[in-house]
Amino acid sequence: MKLNDNIDFIGQFSIKAFNKDGSIEVYEDKNLIMDRARQNMAQLVGGVTTEGSAINKFVLGTEGHVGTNILEFKQVGSDGFDSTRTEIFSEENTTEHYVIPFDPLGGFTIQDDVTNSYNSNDIDAKESCTVLRTVSNRTVTYVITIPDASGNAYDTTTSVIAYTEAALYAGNDIFSMKTFPARVKEDTVKFEITWSIIF
């Protein structure tokens, strides 16, 4: 007897920008589950906890678009965007990205000792970010809130950032990734990112 069981899991991504004037911009779509995620899951299921890791980091980046058009985001299967990637485009090119590491085992508070080298001016504001996780049946959902004071400036001359990519990481391994039309972050905008992984 031969048994075939294809375990395929998907992700659903949503980013809401809450503006000071009360308007809300919403973008949602499926995301790409990366090859490293499947390897990580195999390690966790197999009890290799020295290798496998729970999801414990969220990253926003600024290079998920094509050329200079920040509204034209890179599509899966083109422009170097496929499931073999090991980091987002901004990390690969060492350009602006915003990192929120968190402890998946204890209260989901931001780890104060881990900061983004591009964002040293935002250390205090980053502590007001929140990461909430819920598990229901076959779905794990993360809700990441970045308040208006956070995620805006990488230095004293920049106050507006156009983010075009995001990822969840499990340890050092990228788990899932999404590119999207630019969402502008400044001190009048709050982001709420909802990311579900469905098994």
Match 């009048």 to its residue by tokens: 188
Question: What would the mean pLDDT of 116-129 be, rounded to a whole number?
Answer: 52
Question: What would the mean pLDDT of 83-94 be, rounded to a whole number?
Answer: 92
Tally of CA atoms within 13 A in the half-sphere of 27 that contains its CB = 17
Give 146's pLDDT tier (boundaries 50, 70, 90): very high
pTM of the entire predicted model: 0.85
Tally of CA atoms within 13 A in the half-sphere of 195 that contains its CB = 24
Q: Which pLDDT belongs to residue 126?
A: 60
CB neighbour list of residue 81: distance below 8 Å, 6 or more residues apart: 32, 64, 74, 75, 89, 177, 179
Domain boundaries, the chain: 10-44+52-198
Give 125's pLDDT tier (boundaries 50, 70, 90): low
Name, of 59-68, 108-117, 129-138, 143-152, the range with top average pLDDT. Answer: 59-68
